[in-house]
Amino acid sequence: MNRSTYILPVIVIAVAAILSSIFIVDERQKALVLQFGQIVSVKEDPGIGFKIPLVQEVVFYDDRILALDVDPLEVTPLDDRRLIVDAFARYRITDVERFRQAVGTGGEETAARRLDSILRSETREVLGSVSSNDILSTDRAALMLRIRNAAISEANALGVTIIDVRLKRTDLPSENLNATFQRMVAERAREAEDERARGREAAQRIEAQADRTVVELVSEASREARIIEGEADALRNNIFAQAYGQDAEFFQFYRSLEAYGIAIGQGNARLVLSPDHEFFNYLRNENGTTTPDR
């Protein structure tokens, strides 16, 4: 009975002691064993580790590739055009001992702040030594490499290896942005106006051509018509000439009679005649002689 009452606390204490004297380092971590703040040992490989309970403490650091997003900064390249540059870096804590010495208890946040300022100054320096065209166009990869190489030695002092520095945004400041937009709009306006003007031009051309063709067609037709009419008149005259030419005297007589009929035979005239008129010859006597027998 008495023994069993002691056994339980003893077991608990033993278990607690064992648990607090071992620690497990994950694949993603590195660990430092500190004794009163002094670095006693470094555990870089994953697995189980041991420490003295209460006296020693373990600090874990991330062993993976860490991200650092640098705030956008304005750089002034050689040609004095200003650019907004947004960089980011990938780094890894390689030397935990130096890392601990450099950043103290601040850990990764402090390191990120330090790296941020390192990267900002290196970015400014590298991008300030080239022209903006180099930054904006083809040489970007080379510039990123230069920034990385420049930052690497400073970062090494922090126990950190910079794996990669990349530029995300390289943009014009907002005031230049507006001017660029204006230029883009103006370019498009030029193109649009050109299209519209060409449309109007083509329309006018087409319409004018059509009008001309109309005049041509109509006048051609009227020329043809006059020719036809002339031919018809000529033929008519020819026909008449041939017919009437056979007896000109009779034609005169015949046509005159016809003309009288048309000219005064329609009830539109009133004739005042003398009884001596040839027509009345037999009205006067049966012989039809012109001299009256009085």
Partner 1 sequence: MAGNNGGPWGGGGNDGDDDDDRFRPNGNGDRNGGRRPNNDPQIPEFDEIINKTKDQLRVLIGGGDGRKSDGGGGAGGAGGPQITRGMVGLGALAAVAVWAFSSFYTVRPEQKSVELFLGASYAIGEPGLNFAPWPFVTAEVVNVTQEQTIEIGVGRGNAADAGLMLTGDENIVDIDFQVVWNITEPDRFLFNLADPETTIAAVAESSMREIIAQSELAPILNRDRGAIADGVAEQVQRTLDSYDSGVNIIRVNLQAVNPPSQVIAVEDLDGNTTQTSPLSAFRDVQDAEQERDRLQNLADAYANRVLAQARGDAARVLEQAEGYRARVVNEAQGEASRFLAVLGEYQLAPEVTRQRLYLETVEAVFGATDIILLDDNGQGGGGVVPYLPLDQVRRPTTDGGSN
Question: Which one of residues 76, 117, 153, 180 is an interface residue with partner 1 (CB under 8 A)?
Answer: 180
Subset of 30-59 contacting partner 1 (CB under 8 A): 45-48
Q: Does 211 bind partner 1 (CB under 8 A)?
A: yes
Residue 85: name the closest of 75, 76, 95 by CA. 75
What is the spatial distance between Cα 211 and Cα 233, in angstroms, rounded to a whole number?
Answer: 33
CB-side exposure of 10: number of CA atoms within 13 Å? 6
- CB of 163 vs partner 1, minimal distance in Å: 7
Subset of 229-288 contacting partner 1 (CB under 8 A): 229, 231-233, 235-237, 239-240, 242-244, 246-247, 250-251, 253-254, 257-258, 260-261, 264-276, 279-280
Sole window of 10-18, 123-131, 145-153, 198-206 interacting with partner 1 (rule: CB under 8 A): 198-206
- Inter-residue contact 32 to 59 (CB < 8 Å): yes
- CB of 258 vs partner 1, minimal distance in Å: 8
Dihedral of alpha carbons 168, 172, 178, 183, sign: negative
Subset of 86-115 contacting partner 1 (CB under 8 A): 88, 90
What is the spatial distance between Cα 84 and Cα 164, in angstroms, rounded to a whole number?
Answer: 20
Which one, 125 or 191, has the nearer CB to partner 1? 191
Please give the helix or strand (H or E) that residue 63 lies within, else none: none
- Inter-residue contact 135 to 115 (CB < 8 Å): no
Work out the number of other CB atoms within 10 angstroms of the CB of residue 29.
18
Site string for partner 1, 5-34 (x = CB under 8 A): ------------------xxxxxxx-----
- CB of 16 vs partner 1, minimal distance in Å: 14
Sole window of 8-16, 94-102, 118-126, 195-203 interacting with partner 1 (rule: CB under 8 A): 195-203
What is the spatial distance between Cα 123 and Cα 189, in angstroms, rounded to a whole number?
Answer: 38
- CB of 123 vs partner 1, minimal distance in Å: 13
Q: Does 189 bind partner 1 (CB under 8 A)?
A: yes
What is the spatial distance between Cα 128 and Cα 80, in angstroms, rounded to a whole number?
Answer: 9
**Count of residues engaged in binding partner 1, rule: CB under 8 A:** 114
